[in-house]
Amino acid sequence: MSTTDAASDTSAPAHAPASVHLSDVVRPVTVAGLELSSPFVMAPMTRSFSPGGVPTEEVAAYYRRRAEHRVGLILTEGVFPDHPSAGDAPAVPRLAPWSADGWRRVVEEVHAAGGKIFPQLWHMGGNQPVEAAGPVHTPSGIDGRARHRGEALTTPEIDELVQRYADSARLAHELGFDGVEVHAAHGYLLDAFHWEVTNRRQDEYGKDLAGRTRLTTEVIAAVRAATSPDFPISVRFSQWKGEDYGARISHSPAELEALLTPFVEAGATILHPSTRRHWEPGFEGSELSLAGWTKKLTGLPTIVVGSVGLNTPFLERGEVGTADVGPLLERYEGGEFDLIAVGRALLANPDWITKTAAGRFDELTPWTKDVAAKLW
């Protein structure tokens, strides 16, 4: 974590009573051609309850419970495409032919409850345990501190990886998923290509921003080609990295536009800028959030995320209390963003929307590490 980030105020800012309440916005919406029961999204959260990479009946029930309580769109936990370097966590699900029956059950359960669901395609890159048994691939064979980490991907390996993303997306489409999300954030493989600190390449996948975004752009285009022209594709990106919360890819709106334009041209239909604190502005001197800037610059629907419903950012440990979402909802009603992703609050409370809309705040379960360790 950067010194500047550590010294900053981490709590949600105080606000005057908001004029918009959650019950006012729990209504059907249409975003990127998707008819959703509400604008609320379940943020992707790694659960590691899929032995052998196959989601179980309990995992299907876990996602269904959120859809039953008016979560309009569920983004699954990170799912490895069927490539040996994607990740070495045995209980993290994979999207491959041999896990198809488990995923089919997940989709059916969510749809039966009136929800929509995307798998989030995730390659861990260099952020794997040091004891990982499989290959570890990174853009340049280094981490964010210039230490040796993994092996730099060769061009043939990149081509193979892009194809595996396409194969997983094709399977998602065949299984009835409502779209897919490409995880290109938080310092994982695709985002490591974006960041000049970890991407020192001098070939077509490096040198400048156009080169550093090329892999993500190729993945998006391959997903589009493997599915259908109207299949929703969400792209999650971030400024911050797991090893540096103060990292920036874009220092200005113009740089953000240059980052995102290739994604839009390749076929992205929803953008999901991941922030740790939704209340912070995207750039100094502007009140717009990163989601607001993303929508303004690209015209695409955006998802806001970052400690929604909580009084501290996700870095904090111990018991995390609840916070008023009224000010955030005012910005939603003002059109700053299109969807609202909820993470830990929804993890601790499958019925968070139902209880919050009814003002039953005293019934909400605080987030703790013990809560995070359960599948409920």
Name the residue ranges covered by the structural domains of the chain.
3-372
| pLDDT reported for residue 106 | 98
Per DSSP, 302 falls in state B
**Residues 69/71/74/75 CA torsion (nearest 10 deg):** -120
Amino acid found at 149:
R
In angstroms, the Cα distances linking 209 to 162, 246, 253, 282, 330 are: 19, 19, 14, 19, 35
Decide: helix, strand or coil at residue 126: coil
Q: Which residues of the chain fall short of a pLDDT of 50? A: 1-9, 14-17
| pLDDT reported for residue 325 | 87
pLDDT digits (tens, 9 = 90+) for 97-115: 999 999 999 999 999 999 9
Structure tokens at 352: 């968070």
| pLDDT reported for residue 268 | 98
| pLDDT reported for residue 318 | 62
pLDDT digits (tens, 9 = 90+) for 38-81: 999 999 999 999 999 999 999 999 999 999 999 999 999 999 99
Catalytic residue among 188, 205, 245, 332: 188
Tell me the pTM. Answer: 0.93
CA distance 294 to 210: 18
Please list, in sequence order, all residues whose beta carbon lies within 8 angstroms of the beta carbon of residue 254, skipping any fewer than 6 positions away: none
CA distance 357 to 359: 6
**Strand intervals (E) in 108-250:** 116-121, 137-138, 151-152, 180-186, 233-241
| pLDDT reported for residue 1 | 35
Per DSSP, 52 falls in state G
- In CATH terms, the fold of domain 3-372 is TIM Barrel (3.20.20)
Q: In degrees rounded to 5, what are phi and psi of residue 120? A: -100, 110
Decide: helix, strand or coil at residue 248: coil
Listed in sequence order, the DSSP H helices in 130-206 are 155-175, 189-194
- Contact status, residue 194 vs residue 188, Cβ threshold 8 Å: no
Active site residue 188: yes
| pLDDT reported for residue 129 | 81
